[in-house]
């Protein structure tokens, strides 16, 4: 490790990748280096920090990377995260995921390895931690703060559901991609006179379906916050199709959406490190049921569907303008706090202004769509009213 000057900052990215992570890493690194700090990139999120071998002779290059302006400038305009990512929760490590150097010590089915993480942080000489992630990744950042670490968190998730902030890195690019892909698929829907069913990300919050629908990418959307009636959805989509000169209609389906009387649809029963089962299949079920019910609303004639899971196409590639600018600002905000000797904070956008709030907001509340204010439960689409004084992306933490 290089000689410590002002201090050492460790930065990591966890959870799903999104465009905008590399610009945030770049902003933190360039500003920190110029202020006299050393910056260590922790590979694969909390996973890399857990996997450190505490021996000065050990090769830990698979887990850490000393960051320079040359490194971050090269990656700073690209999507994804060059530090890589994982869904590791050191507080709940399954037996088969315990790193080799700890396997004699941790033999339970699920292990809290926070003690090792703290020792690894001390071994690396890290003074400040900057985790960039969603509520899962940042919830362990809250744990680190509670254990005495100096933590400044940056919100990232294409679902835009980290509490306390109006904006999370990755959301704008996700909305942009969803609109582009939905509009592209209109040519298929129109050519074949079908119903277009597009499944998008959104486990507990429907922002990634709501905003594109507001922008005109779809006639209807169904979201996790409101269990929908498939018959009503089919009826509305058939009406939309009849009114359309090209005889097609489009619905966006959040991956966490649920049929009335039903529950979330999972692809299998395995869980990740934060206890989440993998979602998948609601779009397939919605598509099949719409096709099955379509004759009821089309004089007995079947209407076929175009069924497409947008998935990773909405989170890949380069960041758009907002996901290039906001991460730059977030990174500099994090450095502002460190220079002021402040920690235990989450950098945020609130009502169009950059700010910071206590980090424990992440674990004390949830951020979901305010159905009463923004969602028309009869028409199964966003409400287009009362936008005055709302922020750029309409729906805030509180509303």
Phi and psi torsions of 257, nearest 5°:
-65, 150
Are 279 and 203 within 8 A, CB to CB? Answer: yes
378, 156 Cβ separation under 8 angstroms: no
Q: Is the pLDDT of residue 2 over 90?
A: no
Residue 280 scores a pLDDT above 90:
no
The predicted-structure confidence for 333-351, as pLDDT tens digits, reads as follows 999 999 999 999 999 999 8
**What is the mean pLDDT of the segment spanning 187-204?**
96
Give the pLDDT of residue 262.
85
What mean pLDDT do residues 35-61 have?
A: 96
Compute the Cα dihedral for 17, 92, 224, 254 and give only its sign.
positive
Q: Provide the CB-side half-sphere exposure for 24 (13 A, CA).
A: 34
How many Cβ atoms sit within 10 Å of the Cβ of residue 163? 20
Rounded to an integer, the average pLDDT of 302-329 is 96
Domains and CATH numbers, the chain: 7-169+317-364 (3.40.50.450), 172-314+370-382 (3.40.50.460)
Annotate 43-109 with DSSP letters as a single string: TTTHHHHHT----TTS--TTTEEE--HHHHHHHTTSSS-TT------TTSEEGGGS-GGGTTT--SS
* pLDDT value of position 351: 86
Please name which of 151, 117, 111 lies closest in space to residue 49, comparing C-alpha atoms.
Answer: 117
- The predicted pLDDT at position 206 comes to 97
pLDDT for residue 279 is more than 70: no
Contact 189/250 with Cβ under 8 angstroms? yes
pTM, entire model: 0.93
Residue from 51, 135, 136, 159 carrying the catalytic annotation:
159
Half-sphere exposure of 208 (CA within 13 A, CB side): 32
Summarize the confidence of residues 299-306 as an average pLDDT: 97
Q: Would the pLDDT of 302 be above 60?
A: yes
15: left (phi over 0), alpha (psi -120 to 50) or beta: left
C-beta separation of 315 from 158 below 8 A: yes
Look at residue 277 in the predicted model and tell me its pLDDT.
59
DSSP class of residue 219?
S
The residue with greater pLDDT, 396 or 62, is 62
As a whole number of angstroms, the distance between CA 141 and CA 379 comes to: 40
Give the separation between CA 283 and CA 219, rounded to whole angstroms: 16
Question: In the chain, pLDDT over 90 holds for what percent of residues?
Answer: 88
Residue 82 in tokens: 């060059």
Residue 23's φ and ψ, nearest 5 degrees, are -60, -35
Span 98-157, pLDDT tens digits: 999 999 999 999 999 999 999 999 999 999 999 999 999 999 999 999 999 999 999 999
pLDDT digits (tens, 9 = 90+) for 259-272: 999 887 766 555 66
What's the Cα-to-Cα distance from 361 to each of 134, 157, 385, rounded to whole Å? Answer: 12, 16, 29
161 given a catalytic annotation: no
pLDDT at 87 > cutoff 50: yes
């Amino acid at each position: 490790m290089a000689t410590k000057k002002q201090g050492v900052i460790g930065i990591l990215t966890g959870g799903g990748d999104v465009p905008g992570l590399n610009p945030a890493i770049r902003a933190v690194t360039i500003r920190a280096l110029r202020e006299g700090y050393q910056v260590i990139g922790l590979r694969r999120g909390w996973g890399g920090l857990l996997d450190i071998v505490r021996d000065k002779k050990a090769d830990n290059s698979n887990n850490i990377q000393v960051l320079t302006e040359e490194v971050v400038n090269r990656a700073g305009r690209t999507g994804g995260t060059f530090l890589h990512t994982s869904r590791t929760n050191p507080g709940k490590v399954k037996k088969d995921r315990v790193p080799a150097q700890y396997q004699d010590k941790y033999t339970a089915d699920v292990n809290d390895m926070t003690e090792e993480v703290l020792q690894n942080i001390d071994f690396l000489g890290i003074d400040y931690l900057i985790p960039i992630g969603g509520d899962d990744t940042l919830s362990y950042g809250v744990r680190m703060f509670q254990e005495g670490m100096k933590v400044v968190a940056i919100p990232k998730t294409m679902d835009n559901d980290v509490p306390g902030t109006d904006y999370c890195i990755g959301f704008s690019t996700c909305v942009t991609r969803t609109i582009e892909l939905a509009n592209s698929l209109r040519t298929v829907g129109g050519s074949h006179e079908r119903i277009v069913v597009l499944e998008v990300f959104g486990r507990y919050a429907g922002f990634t379906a709501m905003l594109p629908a507001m922008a005109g990418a779809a006639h209807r959307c169904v979201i996790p916050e409101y269990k929908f009636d498939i018959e009503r959805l089919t009826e509305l989509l058939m009406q939309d199709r009849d009114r359309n000169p090209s005889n097609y209609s489009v619905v966006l389906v959040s991956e966490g959406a649920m049929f009335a009387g039903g529950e979330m649809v999972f692809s299998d029963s395995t869980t990740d490190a934060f206890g989440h089962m993998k979602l998948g299949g609601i779009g397939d079920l919605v598509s099949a049921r719409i096709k099955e019910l379509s004759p009821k609303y089309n004089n007995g004639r079947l209407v076929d569907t175009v069924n497409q899971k947008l998935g990773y196409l909405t989170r890949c590639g380069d960041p758009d303008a907002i996901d290039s600018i906001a991460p730059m600002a977030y990174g500099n905000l994090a450095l502002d706090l460190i220079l002021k000797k402040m920690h235990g904070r989450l950098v945020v956008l609130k009502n169009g202004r950059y700010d910071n709030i206590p980090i424990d907001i992440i674990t004390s509340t949830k951020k979901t769509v305010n159905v009463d204010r923004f969602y028309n439960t009869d028409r199964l689409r966003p409400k287009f009213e009362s936008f005055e004084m709302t922020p750029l992306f309409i729906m805030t933490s509180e509303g």
